[in-house]
Structure 1
Amino acid sequence: MIHSRIRKKAVIILASLLMVSSAVPSVYASSAEAGSYANKSLGPVSSKEVEAFADEFFERQDVKDMGIPGAVFVVVKDGKVLLQKGYGYADVDKKTPADPEKTVFRIASVSKVFTATAVMQLVEQGEIDVNHDVQEYMGDIKIKNNTDFPVTVEHLLTHTTGFDIVDPPQGDSISYDLSKVYPLKEYVKEWMPTVIRKPGDVFKYDNIASMLQGYIVQNMSGLPFNQYVNENIFKPLGMNNSGFLMTPELREKLAAGYNEHNKTSPIYHFAPNDMPHGGMLTTGSDMAKFMIAFLNQGKLDGNRILKEETVKEMSKVHMGIHPKVPNMAYGFEYAYQDYYNGQNVIGKSGAAPGGFSSWMWLLPEQNVGAFIVYNKSGKLQEKIFKAFMDRYYPKPEPAPKKYLTPTKEQLRRFEGVYRDLRVSYVLTRIHAAADGRLELENLTGKQVVRQVDPLLFEDENGSQVAFKENPDGTIGYMFSKTNRVSWVEKLPQPERFQDVPDNHPYAEYIEGLHQLGIVGSKPDGTFGPNEPLTRAEFVVQLINWTGIPASKAPLIFEDTHDMPEAGKIQTALEYNFIKGTSERLFEPNRPIVRQEAAAIMSRVMSGFGAKPSEGAIVGDTEPWAESAVKFIAGKQYYGPEVSISPDGAVDYRSKKMMTRQEAAALIYLASKWSVSS
């Protein structure tokens, strides 16, 4: 089959749904406030007591209901392992128990901590300076930079690069051909992004930044990345069941991964094979050794992997949107901040294809660390972290909150549409309420917050929403619990289309997409609302909305080869959003019919995780499009072009050509979807 290399089902991951200076890290809440809450009498005490906690947790009904096949949980304190225990099965069919010493798991993005550790080792040796332009360390690979400012190593470590692309598509990052070799250098060349935003200005979780860290380690050390980490981190710590390459020995011990239907996922290799940003394989007991070494200022059993001052530097806050809201240390992130209970916590989470999830958290002041890994996707790491913190470091009684009392007019500066910098289809719309509150609405639902600081708000549960100003004093960015790994950008209002007046029936939809940058004006400043839209134009608008990078794979559709946006059409095919009119043809220039657009949009929304919907329809619709049209009708993703019968049935005019204004209504209304709807 010509489409055999196209992945059968793409999963679009909703993000939890991930001031560049170390000069004054103590201003951040995670460090500054920890002193007032830190209590050495808190925390886990004995192995027996921690095991009882873990056993109790895994017996909880809500945990059992998650259907996790197997997990390993590790807790360390004061240089000792208090617990390393497996629960359930590494392989259900073979009844192989999850074993902290024997079972190898993919730990996904927790790998980034080890990559950053390797970078900092070379910093100690004087081979790398975190403040220098990374171009000095890239050899013959050139970084494309559309700004006048260099990307430094610190920008890589704090995910503030300004890159246009931070995530190669999943289909270009894994391979089921276990014999194929994907060298790191060649992959870096293929996916080298372009710097489009001033480095250091914004935080956006960046897989490519961590990949470049690994390449720099390889280039500056003269050793393959995986070999460098083996010799300089794993071997000194006795991590004998860890690696960035899937050797036969590690594969033999690898836990089976499970999908949402509890079916085993096929084994795959990463591309590149020794992926610095997510390719590490390890066991729970090996992770215990690393956590103990890091908490012990870089040393374990007489073997040192980092200097004491380097560990302290890696543990500091180096990036945050607000003095009380940190985002990044070096290699570590500040995830699940709502559960810190006033403690200083640094950590790293991960999720890999095939059902592997992980989360490591450290409390440096308490000399405590923990690690959870399991073989099915789900929020188990969040549940166990909250349970752990509530059990051992309960939140102190809060002091009475002193809220500011801004007027609605004073809050209007925060109003507008905000777009996630990493997951561009995640939009937040903010409105000022008359009672001095802000109302946020996005795909996770609604959140109402009150002001506690000029640029900081909280909801009734204490979850923070922070803002950052532009140099001119206007609001530029926001950060909230919607996506803990990226800021969101406030979008400016563009100039209006000359042929779309305020009273135009599609003005809201057209101008809404215009503000999102999904549609633009013609040279004469018009939009052409009533003009038909081609199949290619519609697909490109959808891909622009999703923010998925254009594919670099060989083009399947022969009639798109000469199109500038052919890579985006290829992306839509790889994600199963579209189908060809034949094996090799797409007919990109043919006007799109409304039922075709409905079918494509329904596949996109299904990929996002939108709830099924079936509205009543009338009129003539082809059988193959009927379920899609019912979905669109049920979601009410249409403009005034449709007619609705007295009983609520929608005449979608399925076989009519779709106009530009109708497409704008479809995409704009879909952009306002919520997981609760």
Structure 2
Amino acid sequence: MKKLILKYSILMLTLLFLSTSINLAASTAGTTASALANTFRGPQSATEVEKFLDDYFSQDPIKKKINALTVAVVQNSQVLARKGYGVTDRSTNTPVQTDQTVFRVASVSKVFTALAIMQLVDQGKIGLQDNIENYLDGYKVNNPFATPVTVEMLLTHSTGFEVRDPSSNSFMIDASLTPISLKDEVFKQFPPVKRKPGSSYMYDNFAYALLGYIVQQVSGEAFDAYMEKHVFQPLGMTSSSFRLPTDLAKRLATVYDASGKPRPVYRLSPEIIPQGSMVTTSDDIVRFMQAFLNDGKLPNGTSIVSPASIKAMETYQVAIHPQVADVSYGFEAPFMLKDTNGQHVIAKGGDIPGFSSYLWMLPDSQTGVFISYTATGGLRDDFFTAFMDHYYPSQKTQFGKADFMLQSASELHKFAGLYTDLRTDSDIIKVSVVGDGRLDVYTPWVDHEQVTQVDDKLFVDVKGRPLAFQTDSQDNITYMKYNNPLSYSAKVPEALGYPDITNDHPYAAYIQGLQSLSLLSDVASQPFQPLKTVTRGQFIHDIVQQFHFRHSSQKASFTDISASVYQDDILSAANLGLVVGVSTDLFEPNRPILRQEAAVILSRIIHHLSDIKVPTAALQLTSGTDDWALADIQTVLALKLYGPEVTTIDGTIDFGSKRALTKQEESAMLYNMLVPNV
């Protein structure tokens, strides 16, 4: 069963998509530089590259995905292609021009923020191992660990910070609104440290906002002014900015909605966002790529940054496994790591409403590619794969060791269990042992896959995608990473259990699973009371807490909930359309909830707040269910959101619709909403 993915719980704008750092060799897939020299082909001819681009972007399925697109390819400081496809404005049919048409590049901005930091490192004004508190005017980070957060950890997304992402308030259409300042934004949402700094990777927008603030603090210049003076002007990037000035706004590619209507141009708050507000043209990015691939040197021989800093930016600094890289300074491993074809590739993608971008470079062959377009989706991933297969076809990326001896099923038991994504803790991965050297993996991203061991803590699925684990000093599994470029997933500790729930209890897996995920408020040393009934108010509370629904500020529409401890939860659920009262003004929060009532609420979550597809096959139920609940119970049954209390006799299912829901039955429902029921 595909795990439920709630829109409310996974809302994440990619504005902007270990112990100490691990320095990796140039190849992230185990291929030596000397071997690469024998197999390298790469783009060579401008004529051929232009033909490849024209052929690729003229395909009808691709043309339908975009309205305006720009792409550029450089090698050995030479521009092999810079092309525009589509139009910037349908009303005028103005073609995309690589030197004029401006695109929002979202998280590609982070590359330039990292470059600014490395400039200041070159000047001795910042130390990569400096405690960030040195630059915070006396502010003390909420950090319970003895290890401080360093500047390098900000660069490598390894701070251990709690997630802080842009919200809907970051996008402003109303011209009368005033954006918040970068400083105010940073200190308004400064996160606590949740994991030991330097121990894990989690894509961190806040870290790069803070890096921009540190640039301001150290240089004494506003971040956007610093970038203009010390980065854009020296590089000749005359159409680039971290704000959206009027002249560039006029040249911004128009974004259209599904009906073909142009979307209004929005501003950002803060107006200058170091992690994602940059606008630019492909010609400007070409100038950056040329300098970067030339050890930071400009055409006139001066340097924008030192060769040592360029080397640091193109070398992966953090990895969960030597063959599975995470990040360098400003760049990350490609989304499609298996499609690097044995090449050392550094990449940076970016998404912001209406725009997607991707910048990747191959330092060993001095090749750089940039693409940006007015759409969202996987076009850039498909283009990356097509480009790499066309120009570097001789070798596919291979993970692991050919002569690796598979470990026994008993040895693999340490990998089994639940893992929670560090960015979205409701995204849960389930790992179980199949046999010697094989694991079953159930994730929100790829459903069910079987992976085969190819190294000590490294596995590969049938599509060639790696799954890697990390251990602590006692060889306990701490994190895993699989098909998710945004973060590790943390291994969930085993449940403490309850005195009245033995391991052979029919509901032990559900109750202990929720306990291990910290989703039960029951005290471990006290009886769980599995047969106790659940009230309507308690059920709503548990749903709201499990899926992180925001509390509503609206006044009560029910007259009987003001004295309930669950009043805020009931209001939140009502405003989301998940519950209705038993009458116009009554909710009855203290009455035990019937199983059919619980099923209706779960079904509404699935149909209105999730992306899951529900099987349509009708199932035969015993009599006793009210008509208003029949369709919703069908949904719950189809997705197996129940425990052993649901029985089938001669093909007819007894759901027990009119029975009061017990705590053990609620545990089965809620656990199966999060974890694949297989």
TM range (shorter): 0.7 to 0.9
Mapped pair 1:497 → 2:495: no
Relative to structure 1, the CA distance from residue 564 to residue 385 in structure 2 (aligned partners, 3 Å threshold; closer, same or farther) is farther
Which of 185, 209, 233 is residue 187 of structure 1 equivalent to? 185
Are residues 164 and 563 of structure 1, via their aligned partners in 2, closer, same or farther at CA, if it must alter by over 3 Å? farther
Q: Which residue of 1 aligns with 2:385?
A: 386
Give the equivalent residue in structure 2 for 1:171: 168
User: Any idea what the Cα deviations from partners look like across 1:206-263, whole Å, max 9, x if unmatched?
Assistant: 1111111111112222222222212221122122222121222222222233456666
- % of aligned pairs identical? 34
1:602: how far off?
3.7
Change (3 A) 1:434 1:309: closer
Structure 2 partner of 1:456: 458
Residues 1:433 and 2:430 aligned together: no
Shift of 1:502: 3.4
Larger displacement relative to structure 2 (436-445 or 354-363):
436-445
Once the two structures are TM-superposed, the CA of residue 629 in structure 1 deviates from its matched residue by 4.7
Judged with a 3 Å threshold, the aligned counterparts in structure 2 of structure 1 residues 409 and 612 are, in CA distance, closer, same or farther, namely closer
Residue 479 of structure 1 corresponds to: 481
Aligned residue runs from structure 1 range 126-525, under 5 A: 126-168=124-166, 170-178=167-175, 179-258=177-256, 264-302=262-300, 304-335=303-334, 336-352=336-352, 354-396=353-395, 401-443=402-444, 444-481=446-483, 483-522=484-523, 524-525=525-526
Q: Any idea what SS the aligned residue of 1:253 has?
A: coil
Task: Please tell me the residue identity of whatever aligns with 2:672.
Answer: L
8 Å Cα contact 2:538-2:566 kept in structure 1? no
Q: How far has the Cα of 1:579 moved from its partner?
A: 7.3
Partners in 1 of 2:155 and 2:234 — Cα distance?
Answer: 23
Q: Indicate the larger mover: 359-368 or 121-130.
A: 121-130
Give the SS at the match of 1:194: coil
Shift of 1:10: 9.2
Within 5 A, what are the aligned runs for 1:73-92?
73-92=71-90
SS across alignment from 2:79: strand
How many Å separate the matches in 2 of 1:358 and 1:656? Answer: 53
Contact in 2 for aligned 1:257/1:355 (Cα 8 Å):
yes
Does the Cα contact within 8 Å between 1:166 and 1:205 map onto a contact in 2?
no
Of 636, 639, 645, the residue aligned with 1:632 is 636
| C-alpha deviation, 1:536, in angstroms | 6.8
AA aligned to 1:54 is: L
**Is contact 1:38-1:343 (8 Å) kept?**
no
Aligned to 2:24: 25
The 2-side partners of 1:135 and 1:564 are apart by 40
Deviation at 1:569, TM superposition (A): 8.9
Q: Does the 8 Å contact 2:22/2:319 carry over to 1?
A: no
Question: What is the Cα deviation at residue 93 of structure 1?
Answer: 5.1
- The Cα shift of 1:347 comes to 0.8
CA pair 598-253 structure 1, distance change in 2 beyond 3 A = farther
- Give yes or no for contact 1:456–1:466 (8 Å, CA) kept in 2: yes
For the residue of structure 1 that corresponds to 2:368, the secondary structure is: strand
Superposed counterparts of 1:500-649, under 5 Å: 500-522=501-523, 524-533=525-534, 538=539, 541-542=542-543, 545-546=546-547, 555-556=553-554, 576=576, 595=597, 598-599=600-601, 602-603=604-605, 607-614=609-616, 615=618, 628-641=632-645
Please list the CA deviations of residues 164-223 of structure 1 after superposition, one character each: whole Å capped at 9, or x if unmatched.
22435x324323334321111111122110012110001111111111111111222222
In 1, the alpha carbon distance for the partners of 2:562 and 2:191 equals 22
Give the letter for the 2:515 counterpart: H
Paired residue secondary structure (1:151) = coil
SS of 1:286's partner is helix
Give the CA deviation at 1:307.
1.4
**3-state SS of the aligned residue for 2:11?**
coil
Question: What's the CA shift for 1:528?
Answer: 3.8
CA distance in 2, matches of 1:652, 1:252: 63
Q: Any conservation in 2 of the 1:403–1:450 contact (CA below 8 Å)?
A: no
Kept after mapping to 2: 8 A contact 1:20/1:319? no
SS in 2 for 1:670: helix
Question: Structure 1 counterpart of 2:635, which letter?
Answer: F
Distance 2:178 2:602 in 1: 33
Give, as a single letter, the amino acid of the residue that structure 2 aligns with 1:132.
Answer: D
User: Partners of 1:39 and 1:515 in 2: how far apart?
Assistant: 51
CA distance in 2, matches of 1:564, 1:334: 47
Q: Is the 8 A contact 1:595 1:629 kept in 2?
A: no
Inter-partner Cα distance in structure 1 for 2:284 and 2:672: 49
* TM-score normalised per structure 2: 0.86
Amino acid at match of 1:660: K
Residue 151 of structure 1: how far off its partner (Å): 0.2
C-alpha spacing 1:67/1:566, structure 2 compared with 1 (3 Å): farther
User: 1:71 & 1:612 partners in 2: Cα distance?
Assistant: 36
The CA distance in 1 between the partners of 2:87 and 2:204, in whole Å, is 33
How far 1:488 moved relative to its partner?
1.5
CA apart distance, 1:68: 2.3
Q: CA RMSD in A?
A: 3.7
Residue 4 of structure 2 corresponds to which residue in structure 1?
Answer: none
Shift in alpha-carbon separation, 1:568–1:35, aligned structure 2, 3 A: farther
8 Å CA contact retained: 2:578, 2:604: no
Work out the number of aligned pairs and report it: 654
Change (3 A) 1:587 1:263: farther
CA separation in 2, counterparts of 1:94 and 1:647? 63
Pairwise CA distance, 1:304: 3.1
Letter of the structure 2 residue corresponding to residue 445 of structure 1: D
Q: Which residue of the partner structure matches residue 669 of structure 1?
A: 672
Name the residue aligned to 1:118. 116
Q: Which moved more, 1:97-106 or 1:527-536?
A: 527-536
Query: What stretches of structure 1 of length at least 5 have no aligned partner?
Result: 1-7
Partner SS for 2:509: helix
Q: Is the 8 A contact 1:165 1:194 kept in 2?
A: no
CA distance in 2, matches of 1:271, 1:397: 43
Cα 1:580–1:299 change in 2 (3 A) is farther
- 1:57 aligns to what? 56
Check conservation: 1:419, 1:427, Cα contact below 8 A.
yes
Secondary structure of the structure 1 residue equivalent to 2:451: strand
Label 1:246 to 1:398 Cα distance change in 2 as closer, same or farther (>3 A): closer
Worse-matched range after superposition: 195-204 or 655-664: 655-664
The secondary structure found in structure 2 opposite 1:519 is coil
- Within a 5 Å distance, the mapping from 1:3-18 to structure 2 comes to 12=11
Match of 1:106 in 2: 104
Q: CA deviation at 1:452?
A: 2.2
The 3-state SS of whatever aligns with 2:250 is helix
Which residue identity lines up with residue 525 of structure 1 in the other structure? Q
**Whole-angstrom CA distance in 1 between matches of 2:647 and 2:273:** 53
Report which stretch shifted further, 184-193 or 232-241: 232-241
SS at match of 1:314: helix
d(CA) in 1 for partners of 2:307, 2:563: 57
Aligned letter for 2:172?
A: S
Asked if the contact 1:579/1:586 (under 8 Å) is kept, the reply is no
What is the CA-CA distance between 1:357 and the residue it aligns to?
1.1
Aligned residue identity for 2:459? F
Structure 1 contact 319–328 (Cα < 8 Å) conserved: yes
Aligned counterparts of 2:614 and 2:473: Cα–Cα separation in 1: 44
